[in-house]
Structure 1
Amino acid sequence: MPARRTLASAAIGSALVGLLLAGCSVSGDEAVPAPTRQTSVDGAGRTSGTSPAPTGEQAQTPQVLPVGAVAAETDVVSADGGTRMHVRVVANRQGTFDAELSGYRTTTDEWLRLEFRRSDADGGGDSSGYVAGVARWDPATSAPASVGLSEAGPTPDYLHSVALVPSSDDGDAGLTGDVPVLAVAPLRWTIPDPYPALRVVVGEARPGAHGWVHDRDGVPVSYQVATDDAQATVADRLGLTVAQLRWLNPTLPTDAGAQLITDTDLNLDPDER
């Protein structure tokens, strides 16, 4: 950008004569193509040659694995073997994770989308439709080299599968109905359990925590949010910290004021995370 300097001179024993302004300007298989690679994208699908500057919250995130440690690794392969990608999730310097993508090959000329899902590879488990680490690409430019998973937090092991699905060049607006999955694979994580001794102990209902606890064979498994329930009060009633409640419910829906939404079912079972 142009640089600008200002020089002021004053006449001796008199009033200011003027200002002088000076400026300056600065001006594999042959039947299976191997497209060129991109650099990387973040979880929102934006292409980037460098990692975005960490926010204050990211910078303070506890490091659950050493930088560069592999947290999960899998191959995503279509049923006919025509499309494949190797996915390796590694710890980054911000206390979250990035997915490194390699070995991408495809015989399709469609736009594709990569997404990490809460649901299992067979479609079971979580039914919320939550996804993270989404990346889209034009078949002419191939897949990115990596995608950020910072939105999934410091313990993304609640993401149970990674999938490749058909996309479109207009941000999927042209796709209608259920889009079939081209390839999907389960994710098996090596992230340590931060709360190995976690146990829910249900206390009495109280203002800010007067919802309903549901159990299985006497063990609390879910909590149904009542009107005006608050996260801190609900956690206290259940013998948990807010951090533990959020860990059990990593995609916990809240309203604009971070208030719990009435009739939401909160998970209380670590095995169902």
Structure 2
Amino acid sequence: MRGTHAATTAIIGTVLTGLLLTGCTAFGGDDSVPKPTRQAAEDATAQTPQPDSTLDTVGSKQAVPAGTVVAETDAVSKSGDTRVHVRVVANEHGTFEAHLSGYRTTEPQPMTVEFRRTAEFGDWWDSGAVAATTWEPNTDAPDTVSLSDAGAYPDWLHDVVLVPAPLQDGDSDTRPWVGSVLAVGALSWKIPNPFPDLTVTVGKDRPGAYGYVFDKAGKRLDDTGTPSTYQVAHGDDQTTVAKRFGITVPELRWLNPTMKVRDDGWIYEDTVLNLDPATR
């Protein structure tokens, strides 16, 4: 009997150990899924956000026929001494490319062209800039710059800028303006809205969408009002956040073309999402 009792005790101990290791309890509970909170997880803050592999928000459908000019502007310095003409054209891959022409400057120096969400004279480096391309003094600007990183609907990029770049052997004290926006051109896009009837409503918070909702004035909303932004909470995932506001994941991604999502679908905590189509 002692042998039988010992064997039984060993089996029970093994089962309980297995339950504890899998996050379950012997009383029917399951603690394997962390409860979302508004406190940052240590492992989340230690990771660098990476673009999700499904960043294309509206699929691969061609927005406009290849060869269509969808935006055109001149990026010009305040003095008018530095400028470049920019024409954005649809290509055969479902994305767009910028054609540069007429570049001139009275002060040859390394120069970078960038496409930004917003820009003003004197702004400094922008880590969110797209299609940054640099050329050396006394050379022509490149004829073409790819905007493929901006996706099939790059009209969230509202400005194109020229930024003096560092010299190859380092910056000089005589060029303190390096990295500061020298010329700006506003882009007026002619790309059809893929979601012309998009309506965003305020839904109650729920597991996977516990964040805070704000209107244009920055007032926090509960169940009523017109939402403008959403502050992501720990454990929020893109599918549930979209459902909370009565929209689809492609619509949420279109509203937020730079949104970063983990492989498990979680959005990085404290990300501020746009919910207003007019301010995309």
Flag whether TM exceeds 0.5 (same fold). Answer: yes
The residue that corresponds to 1:144 in the other structure is: 142
Moved more, 104-113 or 168-177: 168-177
Q: Secondary structure of the residue that 1:66 maps to in structure 2?
A: coil
Amino acid at match of 1:165: V
Distance 1:271 1:89 in 2: 22
Q: Give the match for residue 253 of structure 1.
A: 260
Do residues 228 (structure 1) and 227 (structure 2) align?
no
The question of whether the paired residues in 2 share the 8 Å contact of 1:117 and 1:129 is answered with no
- Structure with more of its chain in strand, by fraction: 1
- Relative distance call for 1:257 and 1:128 in structure 2 (3 A) is farther
Trace 1:1-273 onto structure 2 (pairs within 5 A): 61-121=60-120, 130-170=128-168, 179-216=179-216, 218-255=225-262, 259-273=266-280
Q: Deviations over 1:177-235 (max 9, x none)?
A: 87322211111000111111111122222211111111248211111111110011111
Contact persistence 2:115–2:159 (CA under 8 A): yes
* Distance (whole Å) between structure 2 residues aligned to residue 201 and residue 178 of structure 1: 45
Distance 1:172 1:272, change over 3 A: farther
Aligned residues: 214
RMSD between aligned residues: 2.8
Task: Find the residue that maps to 1:219 and give its secondary structure.
Answer: coil
Q: Is the 8 A contact 2:227 2:275 kept in 1?
A: yes
TM-score by length of 1: 0.71
Q: Are the counterparts in 1 of residues 163 and 178 from structure 2 also a CA contact under 8 Å? A: no
Read off the aligned partner of 1:193 and give its amino acid letter.
Answer: N
Local SS of the residue matching 1:141: coil
Q: Specify which structure has the higher proportion of helix.
A: 2
Change (3 A) 1:128 1:196: farther
Percent identical across equivalent pairs? Answer: 49
- Structure 2 portions without partners, runs of 5+: 1-55, 218-224
Structure 1 unaligned spans of 5+: 1-56
Distance 1:249 1:74 in 2: 24
Question: Cα distance, 1:150 vs. partner?
Answer: 0.3
Q: What is the TM-score normalised by the length of structure 2?
A: 0.69
Greater RCO structure (CA 8 Å; 6+ sep): 2
